[in-house]
Amino acid sequence: MQIKYHKNFTKSFKKLTPSLKDKTKKVITKFTKNPRDKTLKNHKLTGKLNNKRAISVTGDMRIIFEQQNNYILVIFLDIGSHNQVYK
């Protein structure tokens, strides 16, 4: 799996607290090992985010991403609270 980080993801990640950054790194590591791990709550999005997916970092924190070729390439697009990323 190759992971790329969109500039919006990088910008939002830098604003996170140190503990959320650590949690996010752990979630990304778990995701790279098994993107279908049930604890990630990986799901399809609809509406204007159609063809994108999301995983949970915490109860309210999400990572929005695109996947191509059955998770060969993953592009992390954004990270933030439910209200921030689903705007």
Average pLDDT for residues 68-82, to the nearest whole number? Answer: 93
**Model pTM score:** 0.92
Tell me the average pLDDT across 10-26: 95
Q: Tell me the one-letter amino acid at 62.
A: R
CATH fourth-level superfamily of 2-85: RelE-like (3.30.2310.20)
Confidence of residue 86 (pLDDT cuts 50, 70, 90): confident
Q: Which residues contact 33 (CB under 8 A, 6 or more apart)?
A: none
Per-residue model confidence (pLDDT) at position 85: 83
Task: Give the span between the Cα atoms of 77 and 63, in whole angstroms.
Answer: 7
**Helical residues (DSSP H) of the chain, grouped into ranges:** 7-14, 18-33, 82-85
